[in-house]
Amino acid sequence: MAGSKFAYVRNFELPDPLLPGTFMVLRIDGHAFHRLSAEHEFAKPNDERALQLMDHAARDVMNEFKDIVLAFGESDEYSFLFRKSTALYNRREAKILSTITSLFTSSYVYNWPTYLPGVPLKYCPSFDGRIVLYPSEQVVRDYFSWRQADTHINNLYNTVFWALVLQGGQTTTEAHATLRGTVSATKHEILFSRFGINYNELSARYRKGSVLVRTEVPEPEAVETQPSETNSQDQTSIPVVSDQGSRKKKSKPRTIIELLHCDIIGNDFWNSRPNILAD
């Protein structure tokens, strides 16, 4: 059927496919959260409630988009890694980016009262988003190492900074001056000797950020419904037909989304979860 004479305008909508066979990382970041955190009196340097709200929104995104295999969050940002061969929305960039940024934002707003009860939102928060493609496993790992190293550097600085201000009585200008040019060891030392704070004993959430992964869990029912199957081999992909009707054995393992605050720079995390980078 011919369209209207206006339908030609459709030709101005250009395709925006993301290169196939590459890892896709989508990162959202709170717009002007310097202001949002101040106006809603977030605790300094870290507001546990606000960070948990970020984790909740990221979990909602992962529940909706199963091709996301890993997410990492800190401060007002979250990064989502898609499996390499994802065909989500035919890899159309604007569709993916706008849908996920929008879902994250609405979940953040929807769940705000749960995490910050008694703190009414004064205005509409928003998030920016970008998608970057990475060509190899090594660059993907380096990307996440970069974000977690950033978490550590910022958190160490902010922790000392706010200790100097809130407990040490310095002005923010004085605290910046105190810390100017100091190396990491000096910051640890200031925290310990002046404020009795052992940095390494602070919450891992603050030091390592938030890591969301899919973890396989045993499917208890599958075992129960196949009592005659005793040989644990050869069961992986064979559909088993029971007397009561057809039922697939071990079709897809059940996974849960797990929240961790662990190191993702070293090899252990990646070696123990080979599925993240495999396709």
Taking CB under 6 A as the rule, does residue 30 contact ligand DGT? yes
> Residue 75, annotated ligand binder?
yes
Taking CB under 6 A as the rule, does residue 47 contact ligand DGT? yes
Taking CB under 6 A as the rule, does residue 37 contact ligand DGT? yes
Q: What are the distances in angstroms from CA 205 to CA 4, 46, 48, 49, 73?
A: 56, 10, 9, 12, 10
> Residue 181, annotated ligand binder?
no
Q: What are the distances in angstroms from CA 264 to CA 2, 110, 131, 159, 172?
A: 55, 30, 21, 22, 32
Taking CB under 6 A as the rule, does residue 115 contact ligand DGT? no
Which listed option, ligand DGT, Mg ion, none, makes contact with residue 161 (CB within 5 to 8 Å by class)?
none
Q: Which two tokens stand for residue 123?
A: 């205005």
Torsion of CA 205, 210, 213, 219, to 10 degrees: 40
What minimum distance in Å lies between the beta carbon of 31 and ligand DGT?
4
Residue whose CB is less far from ligand DGT, 34 or 252: 34
For residues 157 and 42, give the distance between their C-alpha atoms in angstroms, rounded to a whole number: 17
Q: Name the residue with tokens 């009585």.
A: 169
For residues 114 and 129, give the distance between their C-alpha atoms in angstroms, rounded to a whole number: 25
Say if residues 91 and 18 touch (Cβ distance below 8 Å). Answer: yes
Q: With contacts defined by CB under 5 A, name the span among 76-84, 154-162, 216-224, 262-270 that binds Mg ion.
A: 76-84
Residue whose CB is less far from ligand DGT, 60 or 76: 76
Helical ranges in the chain per DSSP H? 33-39, 48-64, 93-115, 137-162, 172-179, 184-195, 204-208, 220-224, 267-271
> Residue 30, annotated ligand binder?
yes
Residue whose CB is less far from Mg ion, 33 or 161: 33
Which listed option, Mg ion, ligand DGT, none, makes contact with residue 44 (CB within 5 to 8 Å by class)?
ligand DGT
Site mask for Mg ion (CB under 5 A), range 19-48, x = bound: ----------xx--x---------------
Residues at the interface with Mg ion (CB under 5 A): 29-30, 33, 75-77
Residues at the interface with ligand DGT (CB under 6 A): 29-34, 37, 42-44, 46-47, 50-51, 75-76
Residues of the binding site: 29-34, 75-76
